[in-house]
Amino acid sequence: MSKYVYMFSEGNGSMRELLGGKGANLAEMSNLGLPVPQGFTITTEVCTKYYNEGQVLSDDVKEQIFEALAKIEEMSGKKLGGTENPLLVSVRSGARASMPGMMDTILNLGLNDEVVEVVASLTNNPRFAYDSYRRFIQMFSDVVMEVPKSNYEKLIDEMKEKKGVKLDTELDADDLKELTKQFKAYYKSVKGVDFPQDPKEQLMAAILAVFRSWDNPRAIYYRRMNDIPSSWGTAVNVQSMVFGNMGYDCGTGVAFTRNPSTGEKKLYGEYLMNAQGEDVVAGIRTPLSIQELEKQNPEVFKQFNEICKILEDHYKDMQDMEFTIEKGKLYMLQTRNGKRTAVAALKIAIDLVNEGKLTKEEALMKIEPKQLDTLLHPQFDAKELKAATPITSGLPASPGAACGKAYMTAEKAIAASQKGEKVLIVRLETSPEDIEGMAVAEGCLTARGGMTSHAAVVARGMGTCCVAGCGDLVVDEENNCFSIKGKVFHEGDVLSLDGSTGNVYDGAIKTVEASTGGDFGIIMAWADECRALKVRTNADTPNDAAVAVRFGAEGIGLCRTEHMFFEADRIMAVREMILSKTVEGRKAALAKILPMQRGDFEGIYKALEGRPATIRFLDPPLHEFVPHTEDEMKVLAEDMGLTLADVKEAVDSLHEFNPMLGHRGCRLSITYPEIAEMQTRAVIEAAINVNKEMGWNIVPEIMIPLVGEVKELSYVKDIVDATAKAVMAEKGVEIEYMVGTMIEVPRAALTADEIATKAQFFSFGTNDLTQTTFAFSRDDAGKFLGDYYSKKVFEKDPFASVDQIGVGKLIKMAAAAGKEVRPDIKLGVCGEHGGDPSSVEFFHNVGLTYVSCSPYRVPLARLAAAQANIKNPRK
């Protein structure tokens, strides 16, 4: 029979896949002899089995659970539901990868009307017993029975009001006993049955709820955001309860071995006496700094410090731990590698190398590439900041500067963001439901909660600026407004937040680029030493090119020339070209564009300081350039000496049923070779001019888009070659140049051997290749991708992370065929996937030469490329 349940003593830290991170680490801590309450782990395989079998637990699993429970009962001398020495347990999720707050937890399980009295009398602490029971009813209702917790919170608030107290801790045993009555009555009014009294029934229901929570919408969303496969499943940990809420010699806390915000090597954390873990995390009471513990209980503090050292040395990484003090005795409830800000991630990595605990390679592997983004985001302009006076401040929960319009719900923030607004989320406190709103926000401001509150943890993970626990902030959800020190703000009002200081400003403050030196520079230098894949950038302007160079780009992998066609000073000429019915007419219009386009390229070449640039010829369908309002058409008609009807007809004739699959890319150059002529001339002339002026040796790379057949490339290449030859003859200068193609149509990948005979380089356009390989229009897929995620047909957005199975197969085939025909072929990627870490790893493994991504993604790609090469070194 398969083993589905492991006692903590049976597992160890390497069994993360089977036991989940929490379970494996609890087992490991047990093995290290640390004080861990007894318990057992139901494996991740059971989760998969549960889903495969129609969301039920099989009898053999149940049997093993009860066996393990019996062992805990035996070891502890306590019994679940026992009336002599009752056992209470926690039931907690624990996936292979940490998914903080995404799944569910139930504490104090085993309490019922009878047991609560036994606990009260055994502990001689009826207040504790009823506090635990009311918590259990609340949590079990919410998590297992879908009776929202907030309704119970109202009853507590009413009770506090009635008693004239402010804090939960000020309620006495009788108040809490009364509350449990009210809770149970409320439960029955909603569910129509009594609150479950059988502890084993409670246990099985709680376990099922944890497995169910693996597929709740926020967990699905989190997995998609973090590349976690749905097939991994979660484990469930059932552990004897220890109590931080038995009185003021009890407490509970969360701590990090180093500062997760700055990386400083100093114990960092928070705790609350007479509380359970949820109180610390939920941010309802503001906790104390872990350093206070030294005064309150020096012995426990010393023991805790020793444990921290043991754990950090053991795991060779900064640890994030949960602990509880029960009647003065310390228990460890969890340890894991701690989430950290990007700044902290870099500092900790460098410190651990300097402390001799890690090699550079190991240190690089500890840094999440996506986090680097934070470091690159603008900070406030120093001068404006100096002039500004904060209206209040809160906890500096996640660094960075943000400025935007304030919205008070995730939905509104998302809606405004979709309209192009920069938004801030302002909330009493955040909860997992707010995660999508936080993802689109520039920053987040909360009234409640500490540095380990939900808002703070999530914002740091996302690299979003966050100011938490801002006591001056009064949120009035009913009236959609909030006030700070009496000044009322409405939704849409602009605030500025400094997540590094916690300061909040009224109105907008200018932001400036982040610096890229210091720890960042050290880590990037290590990454560059370790990687094999080059990193270029997608940039269409000298400014973007310069930013990218500063971030370490080794050239431009994709310069889209169509963006230049839209600029105000040339769009009329572009429209003239499109509306001309003769080659001469088009050539005349193109002649007007030539000097401007040449200027564009000169600017870009200079910004690149001699680095290479791949310039893609005109790609979009021409209808994107023509006016679609009657007023604009009139202007164009006048300008060209045409009637409005002529212009309308011409514009109508450009209509396409499926423009994505229409007259675009190299198809334009085949119909209108004069466009390719002009663009070649602009590229070659610009290179000659800049080479001459700067003494450089730029080798232009001309890229033909949307090729699916070698003869398409060949036709356009002939034009390029003839034009280049003519330009060089005119200028009396010979320069080298390359002609290559995008591989963005399946047929190009399938016939890459033929295409490589004419292409000196391939650049995989993974955006379009994804569209055509899936037959998904990116513009339309939104209508059904939601259903795809919710029905688990897709786990990831194939436009965010490259589909390694299907699209990846085409890339592999094409790369191999290209190299076969032309061993020195240059292979790159210029889709947005070039800035996605798991995609970068794939591109490394496939043997590409470079990835190209947006300027702000360049550092990410450098680190991801290094990690890929550390995992799978390129020969």
Q: Using CB under 8 A as the criterion, which residues of the chain lie in contact with its own copies when the complex forms?
A: 656-663, 667, 670-671, 706, 708-709, 711-712, 715, 744-747, 750-751, 754, 768, 771-777, 779-781, 783-784, 787-788, 791-794, 803, 805-807, 809-810
Annotated active-site residue 454? The verdict is yes
What is the spatial distance between Cα 639 and Cα 572, in angstroms, rounded to a whole number? Answer: 8
CB of 705 to its own copies, least distance (A): 11
CB of 794 to its own copies, least distance (A): 7
Tokens of 376: 């690159």
**What per-residue string of b and e applies to 624-650 under the rule 16 or more CB within 10 Å gives b?**
ebbbeeeeebeebbeebebeeebbeeb
CB of 803 to its own copies, least distance (A): 7
Give the list of residues 6+ apart from residue 785 with CB closer than 8 angstroms, or none: 794, 797
CB of 711 to its own copies, least distance (A): 5
What is the spatial distance between Cα 680 and Cα 598, in angstroms, rounded to a whole number? Answer: 10
What is the spatial distance between Cα 792 and Cα 785, in angstroms, rounded to a whole number? Answer: 10
Nearest to 589 by CA among 674, 666, 705, 652: 674
What is the spatial distance between Cα 827 and Cα 835, in angstroms, rounded to a whole number? Answer: 16
Tokens of 617: 């010829």
CB of 597 to its own copies, least distance (A): 23
Looking only at the bridges linking them, the beta strands covering 105-109 and 89-95 are: antiparallel
> Which of residues 257 and 669 has its CB atom nearest to its own copies in the complex?
669
Selected catalytic residue, list 47, 377, 403, 454: 454
What is the spatial distance between Cα 7 and Cα 56, in angstroms, rounded to a whole number? Answer: 22
CB of 675 to its own copies, least distance (A): 13
Q: Which residues pair with 511 in a beta bridge?
A: 380
DSSP string of 10-72? Answer: G--TT-HHHHHHHHHHHHHHHHTT-----EEEE-HHHHHHHHHTTS---HHHHHHHHHHHHHH
Tokens of 297: 């209980």
Looking only at the bridges linking them, the beta strands covering 613-616 and 556-560 are: parallel
Hey, CA dihedral for 278, 281, 286, 289, is it positive or negative?
positive
CB of 651 to its own copies, least distance (A): 14
**To which H or E segment does residue 455 belong?**
helix 454-462
Give the list of residues 6+ apart from residue 274 with CB closer than 8 angstroms, or none: 169, 244, 245, 246, 247, 248, 250, 251
Annotated active-site residue 308? The verdict is no
Task: Give the residue ranges of DSSP H helices in 226-333.
Answer: 277-282, 292-296, 298-315
Following CA atoms 202, 208, 212, 213 in sequence, which dihedral angle do they give, to the nearest 10 degrees? Answer: 50
Selected catalytic residue, list 830, 833, 844, 853: 830
What is the spatial distance between Cα 169 and Cα 285, in angstroms, rounded to a whole number? Answer: 10
CB of 540 to its own copies, least distance (A): 23
CB of 673 to its own copies, least distance (A): 9
CB of 628 to its own copies, least distance (A): 14
Let me know if 829 is exposed, middle or buried by CB neighbors in 10 A (0-12, 13-18, 19+): buried
Tokens of 396: 């500096």
Looking only at the bridges linking them, the beta strands covering 850-853 and 826-829 are: parallel
What is the spatial distance between Cα 194 and Cα 145, in angstroms, rounded to a whole number? Answer: 12
Is the distance from CB of 865 to CB of 531 less than 8 angstroms? yes
What is the spatial distance between Cα 470 and Cα 225, in angstroms, rounded to a whole number? Answer: 28
CB of 749 to its own copies, least distance (A): 9
What is the spatial distance between Cα 21 and Cα 35, in angstroms, rounded to a whole number? Answer: 18
Q: Which residues are designated catalytic? A: 454, 830
